[in-house]
Every structure is written in structure tokens, then in C-alpha cells.
């Protein structure tokens, strides 16, 4: 079989640049696979650890760091909060959560049963959260969710009655407050559906007037990582919302 011009050019490029030829491809693949299956410390994933400074117990921090190491992470970025925080004004608090954090913040802020004595917030930000476990449980095929569901069942169990009680969209009881609901263009489809459902329920049934933010060109994880970078598609509207929600009157 004659050698094509493309194959000849590729072979020349491999010789000039030092790229592996076909003869070494199998060895290189096996080496890469071995590194992927058992990465060295430098190639293991990193984790960001938000540390509330003086409010953190040293023993708890040590326990958390050991847990992170046992889980297979290679490094930890410690984000120390006090260096960027001044005195806390308890009348100007905004809660924010993303993914599972949005589910927790949403349930806490929107359901009076979870409000502690003296509860008082100015607003909340919910990004790409699940607010209706029952919907995810009944629409697994449409959403491409495995059965058993490794995420929701770990939180809520396999009993549909528990899904009902955990579905915040059906248990909104708080008075309206400033709220921003967001999701990304490349988010999990169930997150997009539930953001729209929560927005619709709050507006049509509960007197809320939330902002709705759709982040283009972002996925479920990249939106959070964009904060503190030149990409201000999330941080700019977030800052505007926070300034308005916490403005002194």
C-alpha cells in the first residue's frame, strides 16, 4: 500500500519534534494509563478549604486535613476568611450556596421550620441546586440519573415519602426576601429544570420577585471557579445583587 503524503509528513514531524511514533504508541498509552490510575502527588486533584479563622477549632482542622488526604486529594488551598472580612453586621447577612449548598441554603431560607430564633437575613443566592428530589426520583430516565441514585439517595434515602418532605418547592413558607436564582448554560439538565420550577413557584404562588441568572459558556463547576478571575460573568452580577440586598436604608 503506498504511503500517503499525510502519513509521510506525520512521520517526519515525529522525528523532528521527538513525538512518539506508532511503534511506541502502545507503551506510551500504558504509561499514561498507569499514571492516570495511580497518579503521583503532583497530579492528584486539589481542594479549596474555606477556613473561618479564629472560629475554627484546630483539632477539627487537623481531622479535616487527614480526611482530605485519605480521600486521595493531592493538595489543599486554605482560604482564610478573616483577612477579607470586617466586623459582621447581623442585619446585613446574605446566604449563598452552589449545588448541594444551594439545596441547603434554599431549604433553610425558604422554610420557616428551619429558621432558628432571631432569624434575619437580607437575601440568598442559589446556584445550580436541586430543590425537588421527588422530581429527580420520578424522572430518572429523562434526566439520565442512575438507579439507585448515588447522590439523592445518599441524602434522602430510597423512600419516596422522604423525597416529598425534602422537596423545598412544595414547602415554601417564608416571607419574600431578596433572592437570586442561577444556573449555567452547560449545567445538568435537572438543575436547569429545577431552577425554573423554583423560580416559577416563588413568583406565581409566594409573592417573591427573584432575579434569574443564566451563565453562558459555563458548566456546573466552572461558575464557582470563575470567581476571582478575569471572567466576571458570575462575580459582577453577584456583587451587584449583594450591594443592593445589603444597602443601608
Q: Give pLDDT tens digits along the chain (249 positions).
A: 555 554 444 444 444 444 455 556 667 878 888 888 888 887 888 888 877 665 677 888 889 899 999 998 988 887 776 655 567 788 899 999 999 999 999 999 999 999 999 899 999 999 999 999 999 999 999 999 998 888 888 888 888 888 999 999 999 999 999 999 999 999 999 999 999 999 999 999 999 999 999 999 999 999 998 998 999 999 999 999 999 999 986
Residues 27 and 100 in one domain: no
Residues 76 and 95 in one domain: no
Question: Cα torsion at 101, 44, 216, 223 (round to 10°)?
Answer: 30
The pLDDT, as a whole number, for residue 42 is 79
Q: What distance in Å separates the CA atoms of residue 154 and residue 103, rounded to the nearest whole number?
A: 14
**Domain limits for position 104:** 88-132+167-245
Residues 128 and 237 in one domain: yes
The pLDDT, as a whole number, for residue 3 is 53
The pLDDT, as a whole number, for residue 84 is 53
Residues 100 and 120 in one domain: yes
The CATH number that applies at residue 186 is: 3.40.50.1820
The pLDDT, as a whole number, for residue 9 is 47
Residues 185 and 94 in one domain: yes
Look at residue 3 and tell me if it is in a domain: no
Residues 124 and 181 in one domain: yes
The domain boundary residue, chosen from 31, 53, 86: 86
For 184, other C-beta atoms within 10 Å of its C-beta total 24
Look at residue 238 and tell me if it is in a domain: yes
Strand partners, 186: 219
User: How far is Cα of residue 221 from the mean position of the Cα atoms in its chain?
Assistant: 5
The pLDDT, as a whole number, for residue 92 is 92
The pLDDT, as a whole number, for residue 13 is 45
Look at residue 175 and tell me if it is in a domain: yes
Look at residue 11 and tell me if it is in a domain: no
For 210, other C-beta atoms within 10 Å of its C-beta total 20
Residues 65 and 175 in one domain: no
Residues 79 and 128 in one domain: no
Please give, one letter per residue, the 3-state secondary structure of 8-44. HHHHHHHHHHCCCCHHHHHHHHHHHHHHHHCCCHHHC
- Edge-to-edge strands of the sheet including 123-127? 94-98, 123-127, 178-186, 211-219
Can you give the pTM of this predicted structure?
Answer: 0.71
Residues 82 and 92 in one domain: no
Look at residue 150 and tell me if it is in a domain: no
Residues 203 and 126 in one domain: yes
The domain boundary residue, chosen from 32, 56, 86: 86
The pLDDT, as a whole number, for residue 16 is 45
Total domains, the chain: 2
Residues 75 and 93 in one domain: no
Residues 121 and 175 in one domain: yes
Amino acid at each position: 500500500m503506498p504511503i500517503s503524503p499525510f502519513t509521510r509528513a506525520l512521520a517526519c514531524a515525529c522525528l523532528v519534534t521527538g513525538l512518539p511514533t506508532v511503534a511506541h504508541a502502545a507503551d506510551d498509552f500504558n504509561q499514561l494509563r498507569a499514571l492516570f490510575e495511580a497518579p503521583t502527588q503532583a497530579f492528584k486533584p486539589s481542594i479549596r478549604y474555606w477556613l473561618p479563622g479564629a472560629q475554627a477549632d484546630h483539632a477539627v482542622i487537623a481531622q479535616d486535613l487527614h480526611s482530605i488526604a485519605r480521600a486521595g486529594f493531592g493538595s489543599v488551598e486554605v482560604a482564610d476568611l478573616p483577612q477579607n472580612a470586617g466586623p459582621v453586621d447581623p442585619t446585613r447577612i446574605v446566604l449563598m450556596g452552589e449545588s448541594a449548598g444551594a439545596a441547603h441554603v434554599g431549604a433553610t431560607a425558604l422554610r420557616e421550620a428551619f429558621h432558628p430564633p432571631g432569624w434575619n437575613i437580607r437575601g440568598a443566592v442559589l446556584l445550580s441546586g436541586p430543590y425537588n428530589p421527588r422530581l429527580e426520583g420520578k424522572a430518572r430516565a429523562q434526566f439520565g440519573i442512575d438507579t439507585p441514585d448515588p447522590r439523592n439517595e445518599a441524602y434522602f434515602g430510597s423512600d419516596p415519602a422522604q423525597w416529598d418532605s425534602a422537596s423545598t418547592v412544595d414547602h415554601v413558607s417564608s416571607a419574600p426576601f431578596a433572592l437570586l436564582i442561577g444556573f449555567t448554560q452547560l449545567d445538568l439538565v435537572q438543575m436547569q429544570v429545577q431552577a425554573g420550577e423554583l423560580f416559577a413557584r416563588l413568583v406565581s404562588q409566594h409573592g417573591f420577585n427573584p432575579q434569574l441568572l443564566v451563565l453562558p459558556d459555563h458548566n456546573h463547576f466552572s461558575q464557582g471557579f470563575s470567581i476571582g478571575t478575569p471572567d466576571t460573568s458570575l462575580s459582577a452580577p453577584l456583587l451587584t445583587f449583594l450591594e443592593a440586598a445589603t444597602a443601608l436604608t
